[in-house]
Structure 1
Amino acid sequence: MASSTYKIYHVHSMDSRQFLEDYMSDKPDMVFGEDTLKFPIECLAKTFSMGHIKGDILIDLSFGSFVHHLYAASEFFKHIIVLKVSDRCILELKRWLDSRTGAFDWGHATQLHVDIYGSSDELEDKEGKVRSAAQHIIKCNPEKENMTHPIVLPPADCIISAWFLNSISKDQDDYIRYLRKISGLLKPGGHLLLIGALEITYYTVGKDKFCALTYDEDFARKALVGEGFVIDDCKIRKRTAVSDLSDYKAFIFIAAHKGEKI
């Protein structure tokens, strides 16, 4: 864990719009595009295109208020339940979902998804499908036994969790504890698509520095297997960005399905 003076994502307020501008936008000085935009879009598009991950309910339990990781999922799931830890992230996300004035423009990410997916005739339809599927946005508290108390969610066929465990875990035991809670939201045999940052200690949003859990590929694999998951695919993207906003060394994508815990 980084310095005790750093903020914690699910405890302190984060400027979710500033995060999008710094890490997800199409501004000329936004240097994270290969890592934060292209890598997850490529991994998720390829994974869903195989056709074996589909069903009724997908839960998205991810950091911040980005949506580009849901483009591919919206082709295979009619219902996407989005869980967020802060009102600020919920408001930012709803602004886009409701097509309100001032919403963050995801057009560059949508185009990137279409370029990778090869469906240029459906550019506008991509965002529409996400908006149609993501009708349920629920505030959650990862510290509670039931994160969405008093709401009890139906078991999901698939969960996407992007950069969430990095941001809320103070140590590796915490990571495993939260992973266990995520697993509890899945049906037996359900799929977990996990995106994380490797060897990170902090990220900066505006004037605030936030701490992040550092771990490596070996730990992530062992944590999943220890919680009864079977790993189907794992990809690593080494850092390409030159910036002091965050010190991650690489991003990891893991596709796994829920088996029997050992």
Structure 2
Amino acid sequence: MDSSNYKLYHVHGCDSRGFLESYCSDKPDMVFRDDTLIFPIENLRKSFQLGHIRGDILIDFSVGSFIHLLYSACEFFKHIIVLKLNDRCILELKRWVDTRTGAFYWGHIAQLHAEIEGKSDELEDKEGNVRSALQHVIKCNLEKENITEPIDLPPADCIISAWVLDATSKDHNDFIRTLRKISKLLKPGGHLILIGCLEATYYIIGKDKLHLFKYDEKFARKALVGEGFVIDCWEVKKRTNISDLTDYKALIFIAAHKEKLV
């Protein structure tokens, strides 16, 4: 079955809790721990620690109701704005932000960060720091030229976009079109961090099979350079886990900066 016939994340929505349970939980049978949790966490930490990716505003534009990408970011940015494409993911995220009963458990992520940083004594501060920095959760629309319309956001110093381009792009043109819209949210010289899957066509959440846009390293590099980005970091991790929930071949982490206007 062609992946273009699968459900689309931003059109049909998804089971936000099922998404987290399948790809981000601390359950023993969650086989994606190294890829969806440790790989982005370690690379985000390394990128931020270099010292040149920091500032006032960070925008997170990622699939699902992910929190784990923001633990390091809150140490380097004063304000975090989260963009989401569907209401269920917004409700799931706000349940955690507001510490409501039934919120998804992210304690294992705080533990992972503490282990990576060697700061196990700061475990309790991790989630509090993210909540304090997270200023707004905004629903956006990829059909709009300004995806946050009617809200005009101040230009961001950095944008983290994890798996959005993969899950929403039907083809090469879609990918570049959305990348261009994301780029417009960045200030000149601002940084873009992309996390995605290579050579993937689908992922499964519960009973739903959803589309992933299939692309390779060559295309990703060409798309970024074509939109005026200078690539600073490029990491690829080949898949080692075995699961029928998705068919990606590798994970990619890219850090780039937007060239300043002359």
* Common fold: TM-score over 0.5: yes
Name the residue aligned to 2:29: 29
Residue 3 of structure 2: SS of its match in structure 1? Answer: coil
Name the residue aligned to 1:13: 13
1:245 aligns with 2:245: yes
The runs of 5 or more residues in structure 1 that have no matched partner are none
Residue 232 of structure 1: SS of its match in structure 2? Answer: strand
The residue identity in structure 2 corresponding to 1:238 is K
Do 1:229 and 1:258's aligned partners in 2 also have CA atoms closer than 8 Å?
yes
Aligned residue runs from structure 1 range 4-153, under 5 A: 4-153=4-153
TM-score, L = length of structure 1: 0.97
The runs of 5 or more residues in structure 2 that have no matched partner are none
Calculate the aligned-residue CA RMSD, in Å: 1.4
Distance 1:161 1:51, change over 3 A: same
The residue identity in structure 1 corresponding to 2:161 is S
Name the residue aligned to 1:222: 222
Give per-residue Cα distances to partners, 1:44-83, cap 9 Å, x unaligned: 0111111111111000010110100111100011100000
TM-score, L = length of structure 2: 0.97
Identity within the alignment, %: 72
Do 2:166 and 2:196's aligned partners in 1 also have CA atoms closer than 8 Å?
yes
Do 2:4 and 2:170's aligned partners in 1 also have CA atoms closer than 8 Å?
no
Name the residue aligned to 1:254: 254
1:197 aligns with 2:197: yes
Tell me the matched-pair count. Answer: 262
How far residue 3 of structure 1 moved from its aligned partner, in angstroms, is 3.4
The residue identity in structure 1 corresponding to 2:188 is P
Runs of 4+ residues over 3 Å off in structure 1: 1-5
How far residue 135 of structure 1 moved from its aligned partner, in angstroms, is 2.0
Residue 65 of structure 1: SS of its match in structure 2? Answer: coil
Residue 101 of structure 1: SS of its match in structure 2? Answer: coil
Tell me, in whole angstroms, the C-alpha distance in 1 between the residues paired with 2:117 and 2:50: 12
Tell me, in whole angstroms, the C-alpha distance in 2 between the residues paired with 1:196 and 1:29: 22
The residue identity in structure 2 corresponding to 1:172 is H
The residue identity in structure 2 corresponding to 1:10 is H
